[in-house]
Structure 1
Amino acid sequence: MTDNNKPLLIKRYASRRLYNTETSDYVTLEDIAVFIREGRDVQIVDLKSGDDLTRQYLLQIIAEHESRGENVLPVDVLTDLVRSYTSQAASVVPQFLQASFEMLREGQSKAMENMTKANPMAAMPGFEAMRAQQEAFFNAMTGGMMPGVSKSESKDDGDDLDQIKDQLAALQEKLSKISK
């Protein structure tokens, strides 16, 4: 059993191959991305020098996803990030981004908590299907950023985003009526 509170240690060999120290096998960037989507923290270290390469590899994962058309970061945001490296805003940007993502995660967590079995609506027929659609909606909107929910776990019923939004709005309306 692994300790999920401790970062998964990945060692980079001189050949640039990445080695998972927990499972004793080689991994790819996509494998590392899956670990992260599943909520696992990773640390990538150069075997020879001991340098922490985590940031470099995370940026590479993002760049590969963006280059495949999985655009999460709008061009304006990327442009502003580049500008922040040469301005006084560089000291504020990391804290702002971290706080923004933390608020996003907290909002998602609260929304998912409202959809748990402890909810009085859980006994309602079709509730589990609505919860699954809510989860799929959050996954689609965040690109799988929710810890513990991977894209492969969400169901793709072929519903378009507008239908999911309508169902979400209806469900939120019902929840607000029940909580009053």
Structure 2
Amino acid sequence: MAETSQPLLIKRYASRRLYNTETSDYVTLEDIAAFIRDGREVQIVDLKSGDDLTRQYLLQIIAEHESRGESVLPVDVLTDLVRSYTSQSMSVVPQFLAQSFEMLRESQSKMMENMGPMGALSQMPGVEAMQAQQQAFLKAMTGGVMGTTEQSEASVTETGKKGDEKDLDEIKAELAKLQNKLAKMRK
């Protein structure tokens, strides 16, 4: 999917069906989640009233993932969020959450820079395997919410594939090689 500066406009019809205005077809919540994981901004509006429903649908996507056992948010955090709606801290919580996620994005970016072709860690044997594992870990932990960094998009393996597109078997094989090298270094 091409990156654009404009959010992808999704229109909700009276029948509650969601319509992708770029591709002229209907989409599901999973499709919308995939757009977001791919780094695309999405805006969902009610066709009749023009109301912005984006927040409502994003919360629904999160709720569906949580209900399927894909828990990212600890119960304590969810409890605190519920409490924040009934307290004076409500005005502080959105800024705190936004800053926390921004810090996470920045540290992810810095970590990728250090592991990139020009970073200090790039000289270590097995760094490609570590990069692939780190990208897979970050993607799994954030569910793609954080998007991709420029560094991870620019990081291409020797086969021409992006590191996070490697097959799981290749990553396991590289991990095994790295573990063997580490075991030999300890001896």
User: What TM-score, normalized by structure 2, do the two folds share?
Assistant: 0.76
Question: Shift of residue 125 of structure 1?
Answer: 5.2
Which residue of structure 2 lines up, in the alignment, with residue 82 of structure 1? 82
Secondary structure of 2:95's counterpart equals: helix
Q: Distance in 2 between matches of 1:108 and 1:74?
A: 21
Q: Conserved in 2, the CA contact under 8 Å of 1:135 and 1:154?
A: no
Which residue of structure 2 lines up, in the alignment, with residue 173 of structure 1? none
Which residue of structure 2 lines up, in the alignment, with residue 134 of structure 1? 134
- 4+ residue stretches of structure 1 with deviation over 4 A? 120-125
Q: Distance in 1 between matches of 2:58 and 2:166?
A: 24
Q: Conserved in 2, the CA contact under 8 Å of 1:10 and 1:43?
A: yes
1:1-180 aligned within 5 A: 2=2, 4-119=4-119, 122=122, 126-148=126-148, 153=165, 155-157=167-169
Q: How many residues align?
A: 162
Q: Conserved in 2, the CA contact under 8 Å of 1:7 and 1:42?
A: yes
Q: Conserved in 2, the CA contact under 8 Å of 1:132 and 1:155?
A: no
Question: Taking structure 1 as reference, are residues 120 and 94 closer, same or farther at Cα in structure 2, changes over 3 Å only?
Answer: closer
Question: Shift of residue 153 of structure 1?
Answer: 3.6
Secondary structure of 2:26's counterpart equals: strand
Question: Shift of residue 112 of structure 1?
Answer: 1.2
Alpha-carbon RMSD = 2.8
Gapped regions of structure 2 (runs ≥ 5): 153-163, 183-187
User: What TM-score, normalized by structure 1, do the two folds share?
Assistant: 0.78
Q: Conserved in 1, the CA contact under 8 Å of 2:37 and 2:143?
A: no
Q: Deviations for 1:31-90, whole angstroms, at most 9, x for unmatched residues?
A: 000111111110000011100000000000000000000001111111111111111010
Question: Shift of residue 154 of structure 1?
Answer: 6.1
Question: Shift of residue 138 of structure 1?
Answer: 1.9
Which residue of structure 2 lines up, in the alignment, with residue 177 of structure 1? none
Question: Taking structure 1 as reference, are residues 114 and 142 closer, same or farther at Cα in structure 2, changes over 3 Å only?
Answer: same
Q: What fraction of aligned residue pairs are identical, expressed as a percent?
A: 75
